[in-house]
Structure 1
Amino acid sequence: MSLTPNTFLRSLFARAVEVADPMQSLAAALPPKPAGGVLVVGAGKASARMAEAVEAEWGPCEGLVITRYGYARPCQGIEIVEAAHPVPDAAGEAATKRLLALLATAGEGDFVLALISGGGSALLTAPAGGITLAEKQALTQALLASGAPIGEINGIRKQISAVKGGKLAAAAYPARMLALMISDVPGDDPGDIASGPTVGHSGDAGRALEALQTWNVTPAASIAEYLLRGGDTVTPDDPRLSRTENVIYAAPSQSLAAAADLAKAQGYTVEMLGDSIEGEARDIAAAHAALACKAAPGTLILSGGELTVTRRGDGIGGPNAEYALALALALNGADNIHAIACDTDGVDGAAEVAGAVIDPDTLAKAAAKGIDPSDALDRNDAHSFFAAIGDQVIPGPTLTNVNDFRAILVT
């Protein structure tokens, strides 16, 4: 192989992102433009790129899409609004109100195309039951720091939102709706993508309260009281969802498969661990290090999913960088193992960094700079660690989101 291991791993990540680019993948799932009134709405880190891809096929459309700051794309007719992620802000709340007002104009003969991708949970912001934006922001921050898996977090979000858990589709009724989705969740459940704004919810307020207790998160009094009153649930059999179709057209498995094909073409044997791995980043890293140490030379170990970090310190990090740091510590300089761990949306945690690469010299490079990797891990400071040794992966906005990408190369 002519490429260095580091460069090769970065090329695998780039390939995984390329396959999920809406400009490469959305057209095949898009029907001909319907006659009559058409509205395009959406939210997520990939939603502006999805809107751009729609207009490349359909021409100018009326609509409103909310994406993360820095992720806007030029569109011919669809308005793109940027807002905050992962903690919602006033811009997202105002844009969501406008989006709901736009849907209120749709009638039975109209068609609504909803473009949904990961990140939509924060970007679609409409607190229910008198809950304030500040209270929702505080809850979001606490949940993200708790180590709770994304499914638990989204179940709570659905209960306190006026737009998640099928409520966006209910607001569009009686118009016909097609929701095109890019999955960023383990298991590819459409109800979990962006907290399922177009998918009915089978959970309830009591389950949300139990989850808050499980993860030691104390909500504001208004949130607890709202949940105790029963919240507001749009169930899967709600008649208002009868005219909505949900289609996942891009998923993590496709990106992992594309990376696997690239590796096989270079003569590597690929061991696929799956696209739905969840758990504490440092624990999964330790398990993967053990697998790598037993693997034969010429093996590439691929995995995806969504890892979590329980905040223990005050550092700057994210699940992928923390995984990479914990992996480097567990491997302890093994001389033939290299790895990459990145979020395909280009943002690991809240930092504008996708993740990091490690190699047999990672710990030695840190020692040469007087950096203690164990201390960095204890303080959840993985981004600072990799910035100091020059091994961050910073692609900028990728305009898509199919969750974590991890590859371990045994040379």
Structure 2
Amino acid sequence: MELFKNINVDWMGKVWLFLSASLVLLVVGWFSVLQHGGFTYSIDFTGGTLIKVKTAQKPDVDRLRDALKQSLGAADVTRFDAEEKNLVQIRMKKIESEDSASFQNLGQNIYDALHGILDKAKVQGKQDLNRVGIDQLAATLSESRVLENMGRLTAGATIEETQRVYRELAETIVNHRTDRGGLITDIGQLGSLPGISNPVLGVLKQHYYPGSFTVLSVDSVGPKIGKELQDKATKAVFFSLLGMLVYIALRFKFAFGVGAVIALFHDVLITMGLMSLLGKEISLIVVAGFLTLVGYSINDTIVVFDRIRENIKLNRADTFRTIINKSINQTLSRTVITSGLTFISVFCLWLLGGETLDGFSFVLVIGIIIGTYSSIAVASPLTYLWMRYLGTAKEKKVYKFA
């Protein structure tokens, strides 16, 4: 399938236009990096704690930020995801200790602090229904003997049967809570669930209250681990680029390797600059996205380089500039079709993948666009310029220059 038939674009005639466009993107993106004092790193690299909370009502972020800064030393409190979901992200400062006791106490301290802010006025002596587990909930219901009093369990029921029935009742409530994002806002609404009668609601209201929030996750990384992960991520990207240089230099010529690796740096640096410009943070999954981008981008570049090598053998009378133009034009349909289909896939992943995959899919969405552009307009022109001005006399004889 060919999208472009008999195309004859003088790509090399526009080389300075392409390089100028790349320079503008680099300057804009990295000006943002300098303006923000560097990148925003996730706790994977900085160390610290990231807490995600869902609230029943629209959260007062300023109030939460001020209160948590005083009580826990929270570094930042922000909203994330769709506004109607009432989700809040709390970033704690770096933790000094990495012992297990510190991590175990952290979750309780966070809950207590949020409880003091959001649920302080709730009835005392009761437990938060949004925090209780299945076993504890089943035990509370069993101790009340509510099903026996209703006649749903007879005096002759075995201990195993009694435990099973109460556990199923507790599972129904907890599963309903999970389906609602971990938050039950009104105990009375549980009356619509199978097996939840008014006497059961009465027991629940006697022992529990519907909390105004739920802690969705608490992720902690110690400072030593964070530094180690940052070092390993940097090395992973560096060695992947070095490996590409060696591979292409051996398969083609050193000049081709230089052009390809500079184009890869171009793709990564522009994408990183745009991430800073748009306020995206760098996490481990984002690094995975960059490594995926490096592999994908080099694949497109190799396709063009392969065609250049073939055309040099077939068209010995043509200049290197003519051969590059012809090779790019011949592979353009394949490049656009492949990149276009991949872009559709990762765009859907970015659109529908949720918060967890946002960074990874965003890198690929931007990276595929930039990578496709660089395979056409950056890698080959840079190879040409290197060969023309820094190539050996033998290379200049093989790759003819007008």
**TM-score over 0.5 (shorter chain):** no
> Which protein has the bigger helix share?
2
> Which protein has the bigger strand share?
1
